[in-house]
Structure 1
């Protein structure tokens, strides 16, 4: 006899770890992105500045401090043709020809050379070197393995404000901070010693010691709209405990709000390390790939428009830290950005000069046109002036004769008042004669009112012209009305009847 026993299957569930309890999940909010004109203008302000400085550095490397224009296209990338780029900024670059007019070269202007020398003194200052070393140290402490390849730093060199030779000039002066390992493409910047004083985020320095309740400052563009659900989620998200970007957050779930808040803190700290508080989106993703946070950086940029702004100006996407700008201008100043503003000012002075030159050209054109018109008017009026001048001479002779006769008759001296009155009478008489002459001239030139009638009368046949005007008008009225008189009443009818009578009489005589 067989027995079958059925056992109740129980499943035991283990409690979740303490660090995973009460975790919020990510929320995809509903909002509409709005452009920020001030931040867009801050991005556009540095347009063509980076390629301009790259060309400047290329010219400086040459022993002759000049460069053939034909080599530029092969060496660096410019937004348009090298010759057009050089001619667009004549206050920075000078164009000259070494061998006749065929081999074009370029060099820096004296203003650009002077500005470059001042920037070189700034690179050599101890304050600038200390600021660059602190930025690199913080970036190494944020990394998990405390290493960053030099090829990744080369992509961020412009945004970190590093000089071209920072590997030779700055890194060796701070052996307690970092060192370079490897050669060539495998060269890596490695952290030497952890600095506890530098491992403090910008948010912690600004808001002070408030425990773990640190909220990110939120700034939205004018016209930004979001639903109530996303607004409530954002308020609760900003009240979560703050995890420093220099701490290890491996215990946090990647799909939780706490982990998202730590990622936002890491990106917020990196953006604060940049001198311009902005960089291209590709640079953020490149650094995120090395840190293992590329996709999460991208999600943080899109999901938190109140902290990061994504601009599409200058034919690329640029990530801007809203906290670093106020009304489109950078709040925190530094030596690197000060010299960049000077270069931008030097570039913009060329545009102002071009505007003034264009205005001068327009004024010259208008003046030449006016002079031509005046010359034509003068030519037209020369004939009239000569004729009037001849008449004035005749008038002057007549008046002189009359004055002489008066003097001989009266033999008195004319006072000044009498002379003035005589001059006035001469002027009025000459003006009257001029007017009469002009009227006569105009009358000769103008066609008479009956000119058209005379022309039409000439076109009429002779017979109608010999007739009386009353007969012509009567014949026209008859033709218009369609009336016909008897043949005998008309002169032609009377003539035809007489001819018939003559023929009749001649026939009878012959018979």
Structure 2
């Protein structure tokens, strides 16, 4: 085959492969082929903080411990008061046995009879003979409720004061037990004529005859006392509220009515803090005492605000949930932001420092104090925004968001405190990560953990000045009135015992502080 003529152009070598390019050319090529970077999250430009995993020593605060301890037995007393004054049986008294059956529900610290007798200025104990239910005509029922006297009149037979004829043998010209002329009369009742005979010759009535003449006067004027053996303890105590307790209860109901709107706002804020915008009703019921809710808040409060929340079936369990209906921007402001706005110059995303109050004798190491100051300069993320949920759990900013959530939860409580178990349960509902309980101990200048009253109570330090609330909610003012009524019983015991005279002076001083 004829060969092709040579080309007029020189044959160029193949282009070099990318790996054979220089380092600078390769970097330029990769930069051109790379996709445009996405804007970094706002957290990228935040100032860094060194995380210190230090254990801070717990120091007792006597003022806050006293603030928790002076409400000892207040919650079970309030629950028992609501039971006694419930409209379902009011004004009828409750028996002691029925109260004892509800001891766990009422959270009584010990036996019901001991708790009631501990506060004689609050509760009145009476015998069943004073029960209005028992003042009814006598019945031949197998288990009649007789108005027995608390001090039965036990008299010996054949005494001059006892009109009781006992039949004896005929040899001594006396009557037999089965004598047809046996006349049995009840003592101390001149109007009672009970004759049980069995002789048809004398035309007497049979015991079970419909014509039996049985007359037992039940009126108080007859003063009927049946002879009862000491072994038969037929006293059935009933419990009544004292008049002062009834007056405080009526005043408290008026406070509930006047603070309904404010209570609904706080409950709405609580729902806006949750990621799913719902909370189980059982959780809210456990926190009803701290939130200032009535026991029947599901019927007395929730239907009045249909534009705030509604009750729906739970998706995971067979219980009911309280769901948010409409978001309110005006209420989505935390206590920290509200305080900063009053001072002026605050903008969303600025750094806010939590108020810290340390007890007397408490000191931080220098490295921990420096870390806290740097941590305080981090931006404040509102608990009503979800931006804090996407943070790295180990970052200091996530820790500050968790502290802000706990701070806002305690700010929504009328007493600026809550039991630890209830706060943990609520923290899980608002989306706090597991292990958030350590933040309570890591920041003793913001929170205080008290171990009084046989439980652990988390207290917001800034809400108290020593042991006195800085801002008193109207319901807390009413609870202090109950505490004063309880102390009247303790003051009476202290006055009766000379060794407790100093304790009575302490009660007077605390009453002046409550007032």
TM-score range, shorter chain: 0.5 to 0.7
2:427 maps to: 288
Work out whether residues 49 and 371 of structure 2, in 8 Å CA contact, stay in contact via their aligned partners in 1.
Answer: no
Deviation at 1:59, TM superposition (A): 1.5
Task: Verify: 1:257 aligned to 2:282, yes or no.
Answer: no
Give the 3-state SS of the residue equivalent to 2:294 in structure 1: coil
2:361 maps to: 223
Give 2:255's match in structure 1, choosing from 105, 122, 134: 122
Task: Verify: 1:323 aligned to 2:442, yes or no.
Answer: no
| 5+ long unaligned stretches in structure 2 | 1-18, 21-29, 130-147, 151-234, 502-515
Give the 3-state SS of the residue equivalent to 2:293 in structure 1: coil
1:93 maps to: 123
Give 1:196's match in structure 2, choosing from 308, 325, 329: 329
1:27 maps to: 52
Give the 3-state SS of the residue equivalent to 1:55 in structure 2: helix
Deviation at 1:38, TM superposition (A): 0.4
CA RMSD of aligned residues (A): 2.6
The count of residues paired between Structure 1 and Structure 2 equals: 352
Counterparts of 1:60 and 1:177 in 2: how far apart (Å)?
Answer: 30
Counterparts of 2:43 and 2:253 in 1: how far apart (Å)?
Answer: 53
2:269 maps to: 138
Pairing 1:16-415 to 2, within 5 Å after superposition = 17-19=40-42, 21=44, 24=49, 26-61=51-86, 62-77=89-104, 78-99=108-129, 100=148, 101=150, 102-125=235-258, 128-182=259-313, 186-208=319-341, 209-211=345-347, 212-248=350-386, 249-293=388-432, 295-359=434-498
Give the 3-state SS of the residue equivalent to 1:32 in structure 2: coil
1:418 maps to: none
Work out whether residues 354 and 446 of structure 2, in 8 Å CA contact, stay in contact via their aligned partners in 1.
Answer: yes
Give the 3-state SS of the residue equivalent to 1:95 in structure 2: strand
Distance 1:25 1:154, change over 3 A: farther
Structure whose CA Rg is larger: 1
TM score, norm. by length of structure 2:
0.65
Deviation per CA, 1:473-494: give whole Å up to 9, x if none.
xxxxxxxxxxxxxxxxxxxxxx
Work out whether residues 149 and 188 of structure 1, in 8 Å CA contact, stay in contact via their aligned partners in 2.
Answer: yes
| 5+ long unaligned stretches in structure 1 | 1-6, 363-511
Deviation at 1:24, TM superposition (A): 4.0
Deviation at 1:173, TM superposition (A): 1.3
Work out whether residues 20 and 253 of structure 1, in 8 Å CA contact, stay in contact via their aligned partners in 2.
Answer: no
Give the 3-state SS of the residue equivalent to 1:344 in structure 2: helix
TM score, norm. by length of structure 1:
0.65
Deviation at 1:354, TM superposition (A): 1.9
Deviation per CA, 1:61-120: give whole Å up to 9, x if none.
334431111222211331111111111101110000014331011110111111111111
Determine which structure has the larger helix proportion and give its number.
1
Q: Which stretch shifts more, 295-304 or 41-50?
A: 295-304
Counterparts of 2:353 and 2:252 in 1: how far apart (Å)?
Answer: 38
Work out whether residues 30 and 226 of structure 1, in 8 Å CA contact, stay in contact via their aligned partners in 2.
Answer: no
Counterparts of 1:294 and 1:89 in 2: how far apart (Å)?
Answer: 43
Give the 3-state SS of the residue equivalent to 2:323 in structure 1: strand
Q: Which stretch shifts more, 53-62 or 184-193?
A: 184-193
Distance 1:95 1:252, change over 3 A: same
